[in-house]
Chain A
Amino acid sequence: MTTAPPPWNEDRARAIAGDHVAMPGGLLPALQAIQTEFGFVPKPAIAVLAHAFNLSRAEVYGVASFYHDLRLAGPPGRHVLKLCRAEACQAVGAERVADDAKARLKLDWGQTTGDGAWTLEPVYCLGLCANGPSGLIDGEPVARLDDAKLAGLIEGARR
């Protein structure tokens, strides 16, 4: 179980921005640090970063919205299940595992359960291509997944 991220705090966001301003190409690391702090990139953070980096809000939003890792809509569920959809995992039944996970969690890709417990996301390769199907549960790599193993892991994460 991941701990809930702190609520929006503009001073904290300014401090994070300030830590990255002098870094060459620091905007992307700054956005990543904002997400690490708040669980996502809150809308007011865009303005804070734009001010700090002397960019327009559109430019900062453009960067934030380009990358799959960066969340703009809101924080993810308390648990995040990422399943690999790439070819090597497909070759050993990743689609079946994904269908099982969707049915078990009653979610489609990119959705979060109503109680905020689980978010299901696709990932395209974790470098576990000889041991698929693979995934990440709350950031921990898991391999050779099947329905039974996945059920155990989901149950284990709940506890």
Chain B
Amino acid sequence: MTRARLSHDTVAIALGGKAVATALAEAGVAVVPVGSRGLLWLEPLLEIETAAGWQAFGPVEAADVPSILDAVKTGQGHARALGPIEDQPFLKAQTRLTFARCGIVDPSSLDDYAGQGGLEGLKRAIAIGPKAIRDAVMASGLRGRGGAGFPAAIKWNGAADAPGDVKYVVCNADEGDSGTFADRMLMEGDPFALIEGMTIAGIAVGATQGYVYVRSEYPLAIAALRRAIDVARGHGLLGTRVLGSDHAFDLEVRVGAGSYVCGEETALLESLEGRRGQVRAKPPLPVHAGLFGKPTVVNNVLTFAAAPTILARGGPAYRDFGMGRSRGTMPIQLAGDIKFGGLFETPFGITLGELVNDIGGGTRSGRPVRAVQVGGPLGAYFPPALFDTPFDYEAFTAKGGLIGHGGVVVFNDSVDMARMARFAMEFCAIESCGKCTPCRIGSVRGMETIDKILAGTDRAAQMALIRDLCDTMKSGSLCALGGFVPYPVLSAIDHFPEDFGPR
């Protein structure tokens, strides 16, 4: 019997993956539905085990299935044949720690997960206990992968040291930044990594209940995660005795309702409590008074999913990757107008230019690259002149940008940067929670001001006004939505002033 793996990632489904699955079933080939390898221009990706090892084919259409199966049988070539997927330069150049299993394992099989190195970290965590877990995470240098880059161990220590019997671990899976999809890919392709990571965090801080807040725009991720949680409960990974230990931990998935600002941790907690997703003033910090007023660790999917590797290999082994104060690997997402888009996990330190040109192959359209937005809708636009910037929290800050959740969106020379600046303000106006004035009113005023610039009404005065407004929003907003929207706006003005002149 031929063994085969077919990507069931949302990307594959959106590009006809279901029809491919049907065609394979009709041909009598049993396929294991897997997540994505992250080479998204090759989706839907099919891997078949042959006498010469696993062979990849992609992008596959349903009509290709008979000829692919023929080619496998006869050992002949095929237009969609890629050879072993591991030989693809895009994969070879990566260091996959968090995404080591994604696209390989059956996301609903705990045996498969454990067979590929899964659960090693949790077993070690149970053996060494809460304090030593937190020390290992501290030694790893792991910083929050959601965007802020706050050291994870400081949060974990804060929640562990906070008084109280009831504590929570909350996963922020409200991945709303355009250009990012790593959380989605991991939840669809290797959900046990997140479950294991959150369980480790639960033991480390003394929490017995965790919540995963997933955005409603990710229905396949929600389904995959819920299925995996059921399997984990059935196998004693979750429950009153985690892997037979004295630690109890369980997880529940909660689904968002289309609000971008709920990706901000305090708005997320409000939403989890069933209220409007409005930002809370800090202090108190969530580690002291978070979900339902209890000490709470809120981390991103990728932060939790890094924990099993750190525990299994030790903090220093993880810390050995990276540069400066950015340690370990970052799952970077290459998106927009890019030839080879996808998930590229690599140690911090790679330059933006290497990512866009060498790894990404430039634009998909073939037009010259004009701008790259890094870090989602609140990230700065960088021109090719800044392509020597290394992927590192501090290096991006020094150039007036941020790496955020690791999304890199490439724009070609047809982009109108004044319109992108206006869109940033428009998006902020649509998604503002309304709690603080600089964001609620400022975003609307910002939109109007850029409209006047576009119309050529009193341009010089409006340009001064937009800078003043950005300054107010930056220092006066309660959270990163209003506080960071000046990044795309001002970077567009500073790096692409010609787009704000007479048209």
Does A124 contact B176, Cβ atoms closer than 8 Å?
yes
A50 near B: Cβ within 8 Å? Answer: no
Determine which of A68, A125, A132, A144 lies in contact with B257 in the assembled complex, contact meaning CB atoms within 8 Å: A68
B27 close to chain A: CB less than 8 A = no
A86 to chain B, nearest CB (A): 3
Report whether B14 and A131 are in contact in the complex, using a CB–CB cutoff of 8 Å: yes
Whether the Cβ atoms of B15 and A129 lie closer than 8 Å is no
Residue contact B258 to A128, C-beta cutoff 8 Å: no
A-B contact pairs, 22 of them (CB 8 A): A25-B275, A25-B292, A28-B257, A30-B274, A66-B259, A87-B179, A89-B178, A90-B423, A124-B260, A124-B431, A125-B175, A125-B176, A127-B180, A129-B178, A129-B179, A130-B11, A130-B41, A130-B181, A131-B15, A131-B41, A131-B43, A132-B335
Q: Which residues of B contact A62 (CB under 8 A)?
A: 276
Partner of A131 from B11, B180, B433 at Cβ < 8 Å: B11
Q: Are A129's CB and B258's CB within 8 A?
A: no
- Tell whether A139 is near chain B: CB-to-CB under 8 Å: yes
Contact, CB under 8 Å: B273 / A25 = yes
Find chain B residues with CB under 8 A from A32 CB: 255, 257
B333 touches A130 (CB 8 A): yes
User: Which residue of the partner chain, among A31, A63, A69, A129, contacts B336 with CB atoms under 8 Å?
Assistant: A129
With contacts A66-B276, A87-B373 known, is A125 near B217, CB below 8 A?
yes
Shortest distance from the beta carbon of A129 to any chain B beta carbon, whole Å = 4
A-contact 0/1 string along B161-195, CB 8 Å cutoff = 00000000000000111111101110000000000
Residues of chain B in range 381-432 having any CB-CB distance to chain A below 8 Å: 407, 409-412, 415, 420, 423, 427, 430-431
Give the complex CA separation of A71 and B105 in angstroms. Answer: 38
C-alpha gap A50/B93 in the complex (Å): 56
Query: Hey, which bits of chain A sit against chain B, CB under 8 A?
Result: 24-32, 62-63, 66-70, 86-92, 123-132, 134, 139-144
Please report the C-alpha to C-alpha distance between residue A26 and residue B219 in the assembled complex, in whole angstroms: 20
Q: Which residues of chain A are within 8 angstroms of B411 by Cβ–Cβ distance?
A: 91
Q: Which chain A residues lie closer than 8 Å to B257 at the CB level?
A: 28, 31-32, 67-70
Known: A69-B216, A130-B11. A91 touches B409 (CB 8 A): yes
With A and B bound together, what is the CA distance between A142 and B12 in angstroms?
9
Task: Please state if B40 and A131 are interface contacts (CB–CB under 8 Å).
Answer: yes
Additional A-B contacts beyond A87-B409, A124-B176, A130-B335 (4; CB < 8 A): A91-B410, A129-B409, A130-B40, A131-B43
A124 to B258, CA, bound (A): 9
Do A92 and B336 touch across chains, with their CB atoms under 8 A apart?
A: yes
CB distance from B207 to the nearest CB of A (A): 14
- A141 to B181: give the CA distance in the assembly, Å: 14
B266 to chain A, nearest CB (A): 14
The total of interchain contacts (Cβ-Cβ below 8 angstroms) comes to: 151
State in angstroms the CA–CA spacing of A9 and B192 once bound together.
40
Cβ contacts under 8 Å, A128 to chain B: 10-11, 14, 181
Known: A126-B217, A142-B14. A87 touches B274 (CB 8 A): no
Tell me whether A87 and B423 are in contact in the complex, defined as CB-CB below 8 angstroms, given that A63-B274, A67-B277, A127-B175 are known contacts: yes
A87 near B377 with CB under 8 A, answer yes
B231 at the interface (CB under 8 A from A): no
B272 contacts across to A, CB distance below 8 A:
25
| Nearest CB in chain A: distance from B71 CB, A | 25
- Cα separation A26 to B274 with both chains bound (whole Å): 6
Contact call A68/B423, Cβ cutoff below 8 A: no
Measured CB to CB, the closest approach of chain A to B412, in angstroms, equals 7
The residue in chain A whose Cβ has the minimal distance to the Cβ of B434 is A66
Which listed residue (B10, B183, B254, B338) contacts A126, Cβ 8 A?
A: B10
Chain B residue, CB-CB nearest to A92: B337
Q: What's the Cα separation between A126 and B255 when bound, in Å?
A: 15
Within 8 A of A (CB), among B16-50: 40-41, 43
CA distance A63 to B178 in the complex (A): 25
Contact between chains at B259 and A129 (CB < 8 Å):
no
Asked if A124 meets B274 with Cβ closer than 8 Å, knowing A68-B258, A70-B257, A139-B219, the reply is no
| B271 sits at the interface (CB 8 A) | yes
Smallest Cβ-Cβ distance to A82: which chain B residue? B217
Given A91-B336, A141-B13, A69 contacting B258 (CB threshold 8 A): yes
Is the CB of B341 closer than 8 A to any CB of chain A? Answer: yes
- The answer to whether A87 and B336 touch across the interface, beta carbons within 8 angstroms, is yes
B215-228 vs A, Cβ < 8 Å mask (1 yes, 0 no): 01111100000000
CB proximity of A147 to chain B, nearest CB, Å: 16
Report the separation of the CA atoms of residues A43 and B183 in the bound assembly, to the nearest whole angstrom: 36
Known: A67-B257, A130-B41. A92 touches B407 (CB 8 A): no
CA separation between A127 and B272, bound complex, in Å? 22
Whether B335 lies near A88 (C-beta < 8 A) is yes
Interface residue B486 (Cβ < 8 Å from any Cβ of A):
no
B218 touches A127 (CB 8 A): yes
B353 at the interface (CB under 8 A from A): no
Partner among A24, A87, A143 whose Cβ is within 8 Å of the Cβ of B11: A143
Bitwise interface map of B from 329 to 351 toward A, beta carbon under 8 Å scored 1, else 0: 00001111110011000000000
Query: Which A residue sits closest to B277, measured CB to CB?
Result: A66
A90 vs B420: C-alpha distance in the bound complex, in angstroms? 9
B176 touches A87 (CB 8 A): no
Most buried by B among A30, A89, A141: A141
